[in-house]
Structure formats: C-alpha cells, structure tokens
Structure 1
Amino acid sequence: MTDFAAAVREAEVALRDLFEPTPLQKNDHLSARYGAEIWLKREDLTPVRSYKLRGAFNAMRKIGAGTAGHFVCASAGNHAQGMAYACRHFGARGTIFMPVTTPKQKIDKTRIFGGDAIQIVLTGDYFDQTLAAAQDFAREQGASFLSPFDDPDIIEGQATVGLEFLSQLGEAPDLVVLPVGGGGLSAGVSRLLAELSPQTQIAFAEPEGGASLHAALTNGAPVTLPAVDNFVDGAAVARIGALPFSTLSRFSPDLVHRAPEDRICATMLEMLNIEGIVLEPAGALTVDVLRDIPDLAGKRVVCICSGGNFDFERLPEVKERAQRFSGLKRYFILRMPQRPGALRDFLGLLGPNDDITRFEYLKKSARNFGSILIGIETTSPEQLDDLRDRLEGAGIGHRDITRDPILSEFLI
C-alpha cells in the first residue's frame, strides 16, 4: 500500500469514531434503464448528510484538535456543517463565517451540529467577501483555517469514500462517476483508485453553470469562470482548487460531463418520486450525467451521491425547472389585440390538456395591442408545439421565453 493509500486507511479507521461506512446500494431502477449495474454511494446519509465531514475531521485530527484548538472556515453549507460536527466531537473551538444571505435553515443546522463549540459570524453579501474575512480572522487569531478542498489533509479525508466502496463492492468497479466542485473529493478518490484499482475508469460530473474543472483541463491550468450559476450550490465553484487540479490535470476534458441545472432538477424529482431518495442539486450530479456517458451497458458503475441537504422550500422551484427542461411547461409573451373577444379567441386555441398556470398583463405595447405573459403546463411537449402552431395560424404574435435567461429571470 502506498503512502497516500496508507494515510487514507488511517483516516478511515479514525473516522469510525464518528459514523459507520455510508451504504453502497445497487439501484435497480437505474440499472434497468442503462443495462448496467448502477451502485449509489450514499454520502447523503452521513451524520451531516454530506461527505464534507470526512475531510474536516481528518484535517482537524492531523492538526491536533483538542480543547485548545481553534479552527476557522468560510462556508454557507456542507463544509460548515462538517467542521461544526467535528469541532463538537473534538471539543475544539470553531468560528464559522457565513454570508449574510445564508438561509436561516442552514445557519440553524450548523449551530445544532456544533453546539457550544462553535461561533457563527455572518458577514459579506458574496462568498468572496466572506472568505476574505475568515482568512483575515484566522491570521489575526493564529487559528487554523480549513479550506473546503484546497488542502492535502482535506483531500485525504475525502478519499475515504473510495476505500469504503472498494471494500463494500468486494471487487473493482468498471467505472466511478465523481462529482466536482472545488475538486477535493474527486482528487482524493481518483488518486486512490489510480493506486488501488488502476483498471477502473473515471468520469466526472459538474454543473453546466460552474464547470471549473472542464475549463481548467481545456486551458491546461485553473481559470476563474467569468460567471457562475449558483443553483447547484454544493458544486458551483468559479475556480478549481490548485491542489486538486495537480491530481486531476492528467484527465481529458472529454471525461468531464456538464449537467444542465434544469435537467438536474428533473433528476432530483425522479430520485425523490421513484426511489424516495432526497438529494440536493450537487448530490444528484453523478446520477444525472449517466445519460451522457457512452457504453454503460454491462458495466459495474459506482455513482457518488455527495449530499442530501435539500431545503424543501426550494421544491416548487425544482419542480418548475424540471417541467421547463422536460418541455411540459412553457412561458410565452403574447401580443394580443385590444378588442372584445380577443381573450376568448385565444382560449379557444388551447388543447384539452393545456392548463394556464400564470396570466399577467404586462403593458399596452401599441394603441390597439397589449402584451401578456402566460405560463402553460400540459402533459407532453408535443402539445405545446401544436399550440405554438395554432398561435401562428391565428396570427397571434408570440415569443417563447422559457429558455431566455434574461427575460425568464426578470419575468418568471
């Protein structure tokens, strides 16, 4: 066993003081769909419902956590909760910086996990401001700053996921699908597999609006994305970590599959409704990109479901985005004549399964015409295509804004 694998083994043994290995479950639904053996590594079932506890625990253990230790991090989610839990376990002091925009639910969960061992500081409207404040504070206090991914001990701790599923499976998988945010988990597990199971292939899953690994591999070095879609908040990172990239740089960008955010929503709903598995957006990444990976048939595949910290207040948004991706819901701006009976004429164009979910008069765009925002939900995408044809045939001006990022942001 190499030095890295031996260190990961030591971390895994120590980790058993906190929780038993998370389940590795064969999923019959996905296996039937892809004609493969699809196994889910359920990191959503750790005590903090994500794998982040592993890295935080290992880093604190190696630094020498104890009642005199003081640890600092910046996080609005899973890393904060993992460090909080580890602080309470070690009896160490923790200061956790969170943006002032962090939902109360996440703040409360972090406080529950850490108890009296932690203090939460809300500062900064944006994460970069929060991060800078946390790093300044750690330097001033002489405290240990815990990066969420750009740290060798964090990476080593996350790699314990790989040791567990290799032991649970009992044989080498043909393919492992790894989610990517900052790169700590993917770097750790891919390095471990290269040493213990080199025949295993690896694929990566990133959110389309935060594909920092794909950008780095394409450019040959980490780059900062000009904009990031924060919907997949557990993996939407503008720049891959430098240390993780030193491990991941050997891979081809063709192995990185970018998942559209709306499609991730459809995957989340499918896993919830069919399998009863609650996944956060980042936790659904690896399942979502299975459809993009060629030649899955007959293979033994492990997908790491990285977390399940999903706020059900977001469920209406997830359902909305899933319907839009599936083509079951569309939004139009109609240019309607301002005359009696015009609305009745439009309603006569709707099919028997077309349901109006939103109707809003926007403005009078000309003396004889007005603009209307309308949302329509139906049972198959083809029915909305037919409606569009009927609108054109009736001479009703319309614009489909369902996938227009600017108009949909302001109007929908």
Structure 2
Amino acid sequence: MSDFLKKARVAEQQMRALFPATPLQRNDHLSAKFGADIWLKREDLSPVRSYKIRGALNAMSKALAKTPDQDVFVCASAGNHAQGVAYVSKHFGVKGVIFMPVTTPQQKIEKTRIFGGDAIEIRLIGDYFDDTLAAAQAYCAEVGGHFLSPFDDKDVIEGQASVAAEAVAQLGRSPDIVVLPVGGGGLSAGITRYLGEVAPKTDIFYVEPAGGTSLAAALAHGGPITLEQVDNFVDGAAVARIGALTFDVLKDTPKDKVRAIPEDRICTTILDMLNVEGVVLEPAGALSVDALKDLRDEIAGKTVVCVTSGGNFDFERLPEVKERAQRYAGLKKYLLLRLPQRPGALKDFLQILGPDDNIARFEYLKKSARNFGSVLIGIETNRPENFDAIFVGLDAGGFAYSDITDDETVAEFVI
C-alpha cells in the first residue's frame, strides 16, 4: 500500500468526525435512460453541499498537527471552498479569514457566514477573483497565516481522494467507469490516484465546461496554461488554469478521455434532475451526469459512478437556467423583426404562429424608418420543428427578420 493510499484512507476516517459518508445511490431513471447501471456519488449532500469540505478538513488537520499554535487560516473563494473552510474553521475552533470578490452574491456570503459563525471573518475585496486572491495571499503573509488552496495542494488532493475511498467501499466492487467533473483538478487528481491503486481497471472520464477547458488545454500544451477567456456560468468548475500538482497526476490522461460540455446543455440536465428526480445540482454538480449523453456507447451495460460534486444552486438563477435550456433544445428563439407600421401588420404576424407557439417577449427597440419599426420578439414552442413553419410564414409574408438566438454579442446586449 502506497503512502498516498494510507493517507487518503486516514483522511476518509477523519471525515466521520464531521459527517457520515455521502450516499452512493443507484439512479433508476438514468440507468434506464442510458442502458447502464448508473450510481451517483452524492457530494451535494455533504454538510456544505459539496466535496470541498473534505480537502479543507484534511489540509487544516495536517497544518494543525504540524503547527498546533497555528490559529489563522486564509482562503480566497466565492463559493464552495469558502463554505468548506468556514465549516472546518468552526469545527477546529480556529480563525478563518475568507476573502471574497465584492461581486459575490449575498446568498453565498450569508451561507458562508452561517457555516463559520464567530470563527470566521469575511473580507470583500476586488471586482475580479485574481484581485481577491492577491489580497488574500498578501494578508496571509502579513499575519503568518496558513493559506488553504482550493485544489493545488497535496493535502487537499488527499482529502478529495476520500470520495473514491467511500464509493468503492459502498459499491462493494470496482466500478467499470467513473465520470468526474474537472475544475482546478483537486477532486479528479485525488480520485485518479486512489483508483489507480485500488481499481486500476476502472475507466475514468473527465468532464469540463466548454467555456473552461483547463485540463484539455494543459494536455495539448504539455503543461498548465492559462486560458485567455473563461465562461463563469459553471462557477464551480470554470477555472482558467489547472493546478500544477493536480496536473502532475493527470498529465498522462488520454485526450479522448476528456470531454467538454456546452454550458447551455448542462442546463437541460439541471432541470431534468430537478423535475424528474427532485435532485438540486449546481452547474458543476451536473457536469458528470450531463456527460452521459456523450458516453452512451462507452457506458452501455456497465457499472458507472458519476460524482455529483455540488448542490449549491441559487434558485434566483433558475430563470436563466430554464432560458438557456430552452435555447439549447431549440424551443425558444429571439428574432429582430422589421414590422411595417400599418394597421393589421401585427395581426398578420400573429397569424403565422401555430397553436403551440407563444410570445415570451415583445419589445419595440426603435423606429428605424417612418414606415417600419424594429421589434425584439422572443418565441417559445414545444417542438423545435415548429420554428420551420414560423420561418416559412415570415418569408412568405415578406417580413424582414434576423434570428439572433445564437449571436452571442447581439443576444447578450438585447436579451
């Protein structure tokens, strides 16, 4: 048994002081849908609704064992890592100073405060995370604190490996396939190392949001590289640069084992899990489940474990998630329509719509000429092919229009 395996199992036992093992649940809905034996490792059911508590606990425990009088721990995070550090700071009775961007939603700030209570101090600094991180590291150096990295730390990686230790024990055998979400790489590195020793025949697929493919970029480059642009919608996994220590574990990953998932498609899975299963997942937590759509051939007839990494979903985001899901499924489109300024013109347009077509938005943007007005129209329907009939009707009626649904620049500005 390697030193890493011993430490990961010790870490897994330490978790029991804070919470029982998160459930490993067979999902009948997904199993039937994909023709496989699919299990969900429910990290969304940890005390802080994500796996981040594991790495924070192991890293803080190791630091205190080495330096018992260490009384200040510092981190920079706008999400799950902050909540994990807060919870563990309260558990050990040490001071946790948590730096968050000024733009952090109040809901996340309050949840972090609830988990940490009097043991933590929250400092809101910086409009962007890089500024927040710099401030946290400067403060940590100034006060002689211990900085808790969200992923690029060997103790954090050991802690996250406890997910695999629990899952293998709960399943009672090695799964055929494990599907992992990837952000900075702490979870995937820990599980990869653990399974590499106890279940070397288990196949692992790594899933990233399309707007934050830091692992794929590092594999292509031959080392960690900073992405020029990141889509922050999948905030739990949208990382511009994978960790150096985590990539050292993942550097030999075959490129075809890494999959990128469109952000809008993830929204369809969030809604499906919520409406069908009653399971609340954040975007990063839905990554591994959504990836099953691309892995149908690989997983057929096999035992598959998907790690649902987090469930810290702010329901104020639900309208946006529904919107993105509808657009991805082709059930909602936005048009810029040049509508004649004459009696009956609107009626002519409305007659083009079918019985299952609804106007979700209708807004005059400006008058572009004396006899015409520019109108933003949002249309919802129940089948994508209904739009074919709408476009045929618009063309036949002589209406000038532009479909701006997939034009990110225009859509972001007017929608």
Residue 353 of structure 1: how far off its partner (Å): 1.0
| Equivalent position of 2:27 in the other structure | 27
| Equivalent position of 2:59 in the other structure | 59
Structure 1 residues 279-329: Cα deviation after superposition (integer angstroms, max 9, x where no partner)? 000000000011112321111000000000011111111111111111111
Deviates more, 1:341-350 or 1:128-137: 341-350
Residue 339 of structure 1: how far off its partner (Å): 1.9
The 3-state SS of whatever aligns with 2:167 is helix
| Equivalent position of 2:43 in the other structure | 43
Query: Residues 48 and 84 of structure 2 are in contact (CA less than 8 Å); yes or no, is this contact kept in structure 1?
Result: yes
| Equivalent position of 1:261 in the other structure | 263
Residue correspondence of structure 1 range 135-146 to structure 2 within 5 A: 135-146=137-148
| Equivalent position of 2:165 in the other structure | 163
The 3-state SS of whatever aligns with 1:399 is strand
Matched residue type, 2:155: D
Matched residue type, 2:399: I
Residue correspondence of structure 1 range 220-231 to structure 2 within 5 A: 220-231=222-233
Matched residue type, 2:244: A
Within 1, Cα distance between the matches of 2:14 and 2:344?
Answer: 74
Residue correspondence of structure 1 range 168-247 to structure 2 within 5 A: 168-247=170-249
Residue 397 of structure 1: how far off its partner (Å): 1.1
| Equivalent position of 2:320 in the other structure | 317
Within 1, Cα distance between the matches of 2:31 and 2:326?
Answer: 24
Within 1, Cα distance between the matches of 2:373 and 2:229?
Answer: 35
Query: Residues 180 and 306 of structure 2 are in contact (CA less than 8 Å); yes or no, is this contact kept in structure 1?
Result: yes
Within 1, Cα distance between the matches of 2:220 and 2:344?
Answer: 57
Query: Residues 68 and 93 of structure 1 are in contact (CA less than 8 Å); yes or no, is this contact kept in structure 2?
Result: no
Structure 1 residues 317-359: Cα deviation after superposition (integer angstroms, max 9, x where no partner)? 1111111111111110111222222111111111111110100
Query: Residues 176 and 302 of structure 1 are in contact (CA less than 8 Å); yes or no, is this contact kept in structure 2?
Result: yes
| Equivalent position of 1:92 in the other structure | 94
Residue 67 of structure 1: how far off its partner (Å): 6.8
Deviates more, 1:330-339 or 1:144-153: 330-339
Query: Residues 67 and 93 of structure 1 are in contact (CA less than 8 Å); yes or no, is this contact kept in structure 2?
Result: no
**Does 1:5 find its partner at 2:8?**
no
Deviates more, 1:329-338 or 1:279-288: 329-338
Query: Residues 67 and 91 of structure 1 are in contact (CA less than 8 Å); yes or no, is this contact kept in structure 2?
Result: no
Residue 146 of structure 1: how far off its partner (Å): 0.5
| Equivalent position of 2:15 in the other structure | 15
The 3-state SS of whatever aligns with 1:250 is coil
Within 2, Cα distance between the matches of 1:253 and 1:398?
Answer: 42
The 3-state SS of whatever aligns with 1:210 is coil
Report percent identity of matched pairs.
66
**Does 1:331 find its partner at 2:324?**
no
Matched residue type, 2:43: E
* Residue of 368, 371, 377 corresponding to 1:368: 371
Matched residue type, 2:168: L
Matched residue type, 2:45: L
Residue 363 of structure 1: how far off its partner (Å): 1.6
Query: Residues 87 and 117 of structure 1 are in contact (CA less than 8 Å); yes or no, is this contact kept in structure 2?
Result: yes
Within 1, Cα distance between the matches of 2:104 and 2:345?
Answer: 46
| Equivalent position of 1:115 in the other structure | 117
Query: Residues 67 and 92 of structure 1 are in contact (CA less than 8 Å); yes or no, is this contact kept in structure 2?
Result: no
**Does 1:351 find its partner at 2:338?**
no
Matched residue type, 1:95: V
Matched residue type, 1:354: D
Residue 394 of structure 1: how far off its partner (Å): 1.4
Matched residue type, 2:53: L
Residue correspondence of structure 1 range 260-299 to structure 2 within 5 A: 260-293=262-295, 294-299=297-302
Residue 166 of structure 1: how far off its partner (Å): 0.4
Residue 365 of structure 1: how far off its partner (Å): 2.1
The 3-state SS of whatever aligns with 2:252 is coil
The 3-state SS of whatever aligns with 2:140 is helix
Residue 49 of structure 1: how far off its partner (Å): 0.3
Within 2, Cα distance between the matches of 1:103 and 1:243?
Answer: 30
| Equivalent position of 1:250 in the other structure | 252
Within 2, Cα distance between the matches of 1:171 and 1:68?
Answer: 40
Matched residue type, 1:104: Q
Within 2, Cα distance between the matches of 1:388 and 1:128?
Answer: 46
Structure 1 residues 341-393: Cα deviation after superposition (integer angstroms, max 9, x where no partner)? 21111111111111101001112223332211000011110111211121112
Return closer, same or farther for 1:162/1:299 CA change in 2, 3 Å cut-off: same
Which consecutive aligned stretches of 4+ in structure 1 deviate over 4 angstroms post-superposition?
A: 65-68
Matched residue type, 2:11: A
The 3-state SS of whatever aligns with 1:159 is helix
Q: CA RMSD in A?
A: 1.0
**Does 1:301 find its partner at 2:285?**
no
Deviates more, 1:363-372 or 1:63-72: 63-72
Structure 1 runs not aligned, ≥5 long? none
Structure 2 runs not aligned, ≥5 long? none
Q: Tell me the TM-score normalised to structure 1 length.
A: 0.98
Matched residue type, 1:271: M
Matched residue type, 1:332: L
Query: Residues 211 and 238 of structure 2 are in contact (CA less than 8 Å); yes or no, is this contact kept in structure 1?
Result: yes
Residue 68 of structure 1: how far off its partner (Å): 4.5
Deviates more, 1:82-91 or 1:335-344: 335-344
Within 2, Cα distance between the matches of 1:292 and 1:218?
Answer: 21
